[in-house]
Structure 1
Amino acid sequence: MTRALVLYAHPCGESFAAALHGAVVETLTARGWEVDDCDLYAEGFDPVLSAGERRGYHDLATNTAPVASYVERLRGAQALVLCYPVWNFGYPAILKGFFDRVFLPGVSFRLVDGHVRPNLTNIRKVAAVTTYGGTRVRAFVAGDPPRRLTKRTLRYVTQARKMRYLALYDMNRADDAARGAFVRRVTREMQEF
């Protein structure tokens, strides 16, 4: 049985992001996957890296202590699915804080002679399900940081064999038909993931 960690980052239950999150969880569960549904807002995840955590960042014996339960969940997953909106050309702060606090040395990467080496090789599949307020061209001009971070950085630290980046651009002007089509696309992709 495949175990997926779904990281969801949106504070509003009535949002389109919540509908996408629901489609992801329902589809993976229907496939018989074990889904660890991590709603960062509902769980009250603290995204702020403290001074003490930063000072102990490279101490492999103690750096995971403040976020040990999240590290355990990450290490127990074979798939990672991110569900979030793009805000200000980036991840929501709570999701960025998850990466800052949980993707630690000894967890997501190892330092070998000063070089970063992947360390989350238990994760074989990575997907992102997201929305952008602006057009794809606008995101491209801005460098599309969330796409690049997901498809490059996450792919590198996991060495994922399967990668999906599912984005609905121009959400600010998307009508019911466009949103419905995107939910159907996400469902299809998760059925094949």
Structure 2
Amino acid sequence: MNCLIVRAHPLEENLTRRFSDFASNRLEAAGHEVSLVDLYAEDFDPRLTAAERASYYADRYDRSGMERHIAALGAAELLVLAFPTWWFGPPAIMKGWLDRVMAPGVAFDHGRDFGPIVPKLPGLKQVIAITTLGSPWWVDRLVLRRPVRRVLKTAVFGGCAPNARFTYLPFYQAETATDDRIARFEKRIARAIGS
């Protein structure tokens, strides 16, 4: 299976890196092909360019500079997004990757008369969002109703890859992580990726 891992965290030592490396190692050990995109390491520019935005409704989306990312997404059967949740959203660099890569003609086509979008990622079978949060579970689930999960599952991948299985793996109270909690969470990751 072709697997793409997109990671976003500015620090070298962090749980996002640990969890994404864990997923990568397990997938490779199971014989899958794994590609890693580390957005901070490659200094990814999250800003949608003027040319990209101007081409949003044109005959062809301006893919300049995004070809490698677009090709990796198009080849992926499993997509793992690994990032911290800040202010109950993904970091700007991850949001920018979604803005620039999950684009018209790539991840979706515009519907007739601006109706519902038409999905373009039929090869994407599974999406896993691995995220760390500082808050306790009840704030994310009960107070804010899991905004990151809702946006990714329903708005982004529900529109672009509706047949892909979506798994949301939040690691709460990350600042007070213990070795035992980390080990249990890594077991959840292993189950989600089927290894």
Give the TM-score taking structure 2 as reference length: 0.90
Contact 1:121 1:158 in 2 (8 A): yes
In the alignment, which residue of structure 1 is the partner of 2:166? 163
Q: Do the aligned partners of residues 160 and 38 (structure 1) sit closer, same or farther apart at CA in structure 2, a change above 3 Å counting?
A: farther
2:152 maps to which of 142, 150, 153: 150
Secondary structure at the aligned position of 2:62 is classed as: coil
In the alignment, which residue of structure 2 is the partner of 1:68? 67
Q: Aligned partner of 2:72: which letter?
A: R
Structure 1, 7-16 or 168-177: larger mean CA deviation: 168-177
Say if 2:109 is the partner of 1:110: yes
Contact 2:133 2:171 in 1 (8 A): yes
How far 1:22 moved relative to its partner?
Answer: 0.7
Contact 1:125 1:162 in 2 (8 A): yes
C-alpha distance after superposition, 1:122-171 (max 9, x if no partner): 10111111111101221131242211122212133112342211111222
**What 5-or-longer segments of structure 2 have no aligned partner?**
none
Contact 1:133 1:172 in 2 (8 A): yes
In the alignment, which residue of structure 2 is the partner of 1:120? 121
* Stretches (4+) displaced over 4 A: none
Secondary structure at the aligned position of 2:65 is classed as: helix
How far 1:62 moved relative to its partner?
Answer: 4.3
CA distance in 1, matches of 2:193, 2:11: 23
Secondary structure at the aligned position of 1:123 is classed as: coil
C-alpha distance after superposition, 1:12-52 (max 9, x if no partner): 22111111011010011111110111111112211011223
How many positions carry a matched residue from both structures?
191
**What 5-or-longer segments of structure 1 have no aligned partner?**
none
Contact 1:131 1:167 in 2 (8 A): yes
Q: Aligned partner of 1:82: which letter?
A: L
